[in-house]
Amino acid sequence: MDIKGFHIRVAAKHAELRGLYPHGYLYVVTREVAEKRQTAGAVHEVSVRTAARLLVENSHDIATPEQVDSYNAHNAVIRESLLAAQSAAAGGRLNVRITK
């Protein structure tokens, strides 16, 4: 695919996604891509612009609601573990800041 054609397709996909995701972000999941040594199934929260490029490159798909729920549950467990560590180290030796 030529560069100009690629950017035209990304712009078209971006316009489509912007209408579907007006808040500006969505979740994508990786496809297996042997050339990139990329395994399938990793979920990421990305901007609509980034998602458009990843979808046009055929390296990611839009994540299903089940994949998003699993991703969020996993992150909640990690967040709770970090909060517990921060609470246990309230003496000031460990200072962990978590933002969402």
Helix (H) or strand (E) holding 19: helix 3-20
Question: Hey, what's the torsion of the CAs at 16, 23, 72, 33, to 10 degrees?
Answer: 30
pLDDT digits (tens, 9 = 90+) for 33-62: 888 888 999 999 999 999 999 999 999 999
Give the pTM: 0.78
Measured at the CA of 31, the angle between CA 29 and CA 37, to 5 degrees, comes to: 120
Residue 63 burial (CB count, 10 A): 21
Mean pLDDT, the chain, rounded, equals 90
Torsion angle defined by CA atoms of residues 54, 28, 26 and 11, in that order, rounded to the nearest 10 degrees: 20
